[in-house]
Amino acid sequence: MEKDNREVLLDVKRLEVTFNNSRKNKGFRAVKNANFQIYKGETFGLVGESGSGKTTIGRSIMRLNPISDGEIWFEGKRIDGKISKEEKKNVVRNIQMIFQDPAASLNERATIDYCVSEGLYNFHLYENEEDRERKVDEALESVGLLPEHKSRYPHEFSGGQRQRVGIARAMIMEPKFIIADEPISALDVSIRAQVLNLMNKFKEERGLTYMFIAHDLSVVRYFADRIAVIHNGRIVEVAPTEVLFKYPLHPYTLSLLQAVPMPDPQIEKAKELVVYDESKRDLSGEKPILQEIRPGHQVFANDREMKEYEEKLSQMEKEAEKE
Amino acid sequence: MLKKKINEPIELSAEPETEIDMNDASLFEFQRADDAASEHIAAPKYSYWGSVFRRFFSNKIAVLMLIISVTMVLFAFIQPSISHYDHMVAPNINNSKMHFLKPFTNGYIFGTDNRGNSLFDSLWSGTKNSLIVALSATFFSEFIGIVIGMFWGFSKKMDAIMIEIYNVLSNIPTTLIAMILVYAMGGGFKQLIFALCVTSWIGTAYFIRVQVMIIRDREYNLASQCLGTPLWKIIVNNILPYLVSVIITSVSRDVPMFISYEVALSYMGIGLSEKFASLGKLIQQYSPYMLTEPYLFWIPVVASAVISVSLYLVGQALADASDPRTHMI
């Protein structure tokens, strides 16, 4: 859409991540030729089933997984591979991560005070001890925790509180970009909204950019501005949220959208599930690539499939106009 | 159906003079959930070491063993400085009346030996020397083992080299290496401690490496990496606290092991030099009298067994207590 006047914050080009288990075979390619841009101030959703490579992409951006090919650019600077200490510091300060399991991602043997101020200690982001305490208090307060919690250990908290500690720990670094790796999957349904609202609050207050990794489409629909669907390490479709839900093109996106349970037993019972099976698809023609079918709407296809999608899309658009 | 059931008791109770109108809004008031209050944690504050000691002192056998081992250690370190026992001096060696006195005669608590020396004095002096050897060997082999094991668990490059060194060193019997080294360097405290540590640290390092590999890739370590925490800080703050219990287990195994190594080496005549008494030396020296004067042989054997077992049991109880999984009841 108004793509050109928006500033690209993160640019991932031809990203490829390979895990080598043995020297004999080539290794497992977890992410294959992934291309996407994340614009400043938006929430970019990354959806796919388990093992599709969502988390691997997030961790590669965080420099936790080495990449085997491609480039990752953040604010016009390349951040993958070997970079200087100064640049590493810059990456850590500006990109932070919220983890899936709040119980596993906090050090059980450290107090909340240490957990939250770990980043401050590493970069000495405080003037004196008083300043550090003030910052920790502010961070805890901003996520709705009390200063008295500082001397507590993570196991004393509930799941929602622990996840908020995780958010406070990331926010205290004052990052520009946050990778949220399924931040609410491990939480009780009753407190999911609390964490999402908190993340929305920070987005508005600080103009943050999120990359939201999830497998729950209903949450992504509520939270994300743009969605990329990933299947088997490949990004198969990228589109603004409403466009994707209205005009899903790739068969995998279609079956993924269908899998969302409807809160109506009658509809749910009558629903005919289409299971995506790549072996039954017509894969003839040249190798497919991610190409733009409408401005801002990209789909993974070759020229033959493009024509089919074009037909399908124009038909869907006509139907939408009638209504 | 359901509605009727709910209504029934109300109809019954509504019989008396005061009739309650359930639709009267004035009877109800709004209750708001207090967000701040629900954040409050009611449980008392948790303290790791506080819980460790509470747990340890609730174990009666462990406390008994602690008392025994502390008494023996204190005795071993204090008594020799009062008696001024010197293993090379035997004033009564030519006075055969003073040889082989039975325990509790003439004020000799454990009697006297073949040279007329008090067994009580030589026993504590020997215990002291044995403990010095065992404790320092434990300290050095654990310290080197832990430091190297921590980095070994993290670095793949180091792993490739270290695993080969481990394969070679762990296949050579420690006793053999210790024997050769003591022969080559001569008997003495430093030499014996060096001979005991020179290969045993790699066992500890390997043990720590495996433990580090188990917890290395847990998510909280990734989180620390995301926050830019350097490796040594991750080791000190994220890994080491989790290993307190396994380190204590390893230490409590090492101390008795080194005591018995010292006893075994001295028994073979290659431990400390002749100048010093030690538990192993006493046992070796008195073994010819095992049948004629059994107390001379058995008292040092029992002393060495009691100190090993009590230290081992204290260590095991402490290791159990330092595992936080035992803190929740």
Binned at pLDDT 50, 70 and 90, residue B217 comes out as confident
pLDDT tens, position by position, B228-287: 999 999 999 999 999 998 999 999 999 989 988 888 888 888 878 888 888 988 988 898
Torsion angle of C-alpha atoms A53, A59, A61, A66, degrees rounded to 10: -90
ipTM of predicted complex: 0.85
Chain A residues whose CB is inside 8 A of the B228 CB are: 88-89, 92-93, 119, 122-123
DSSP conformational letter for B239? I
Distance CA A26, CA A23 (A): 7
pLDDT tens, position by position, A211-241: 999 988 888 998 999 999 999 899 999 999 9
Distance CA B324, CA B87 (A): 47
SS (H, E, C) B262-276: HHHHHHCCCCCCCCC
Beta carbons of A122 and B229 less than 8 angstroms apart: yes
Binned at pLDDT 50, 70 and 90, residue B104 comes out as confident
User: Residue B30: is it exposed, middle or buried by C-beta count within 10 angstroms (0-12/13-18/19+)?
Assistant: exposed
- How open is the CA angle A21-A25-A29, to the nearest 5 degrees? 65
Cβ count within 10 A of residue A295: 11
pLDDT of residue B1: 45
Chain A residues whose CB is inside 8 A of the B227 CB are: 92, 96, 118-119, 122, 169, 173
Cβ of A152 within 8 Å of Cβ of B45? The answer is yes
**What does DSSP say about strands A28-39 and A69-74: parallel, antiparallel, or unpaired?**
unpaired
Distance CA A268, CA A254 (A): 16
Chain B residues whose CB is inside 8 A of the A114 CB are: 237
Chain A residues whose CB is inside 8 A of the B218 CB are: 104
Q: Which segments within chain A are labelled E, that is strand?
A: 8-19, 28-39, 43-47, 69-74, 77-78, 95-98, 177-181, 209-214, 226-231, 234-240, 289-294, 297-301
Which of B41, B224, B226, B238 to mutate against chain A (most A CBs within 10 Å)? B226
Q: What percent of chain A has pLDDT over 90?
A: 47
A97 closest CA partner among A45, A169, A41, A161: A169
Indicate the domain borders of chain A: 8-246
pLDDT of residue A117: 93
- Match domain A8-246 to its CATH number in 3.90.1150.10, 3.40.50.300, 2.40.370.10, 3.40.50.2030: 3.40.50.300
Beta carbons of A106 and A115 less than 8 angstroms apart: yes
- Superfamily name and number for B53-83+110-326: MetI-like (1.10.3720.10)
DSSP codes of every residue in A193-210: HHHHHHHHHHHHHHT-EE
Chain B residues whose CB is inside 8 A of the A169 CB are: 223, 227
A222 — contact with chain B (CB < 8 Å)?
A: no
- Facing B46 at nearest CB: one of A123, A149, A153: A153
Segment B180-195 mean pLDDT? 87
pLDDT of residue A1: 44
Indicate the domain borders of chain B: 53-83+110-326
Cβ of A62 within 8 Å of Cβ of B219? The answer is no
pLDDT of residue B17: 60
Binned at pLDDT 50, 70 and 90, residue A2 comes out as very low
Q: Which residue of A has its CA nearest to B38?
A: A145
pLDDT tens, position by position, B198-207: 988 999 999 9
pLDDT of residue B11: 54
Q: How far is CA B191 from CA B14, B185, B186, in A?
A: 96, 6, 7
Task: Report whether pLDDT(B187) > 80.
Answer: no
Beta carbons of B175 and B165 less than 8 angstroms apart: no
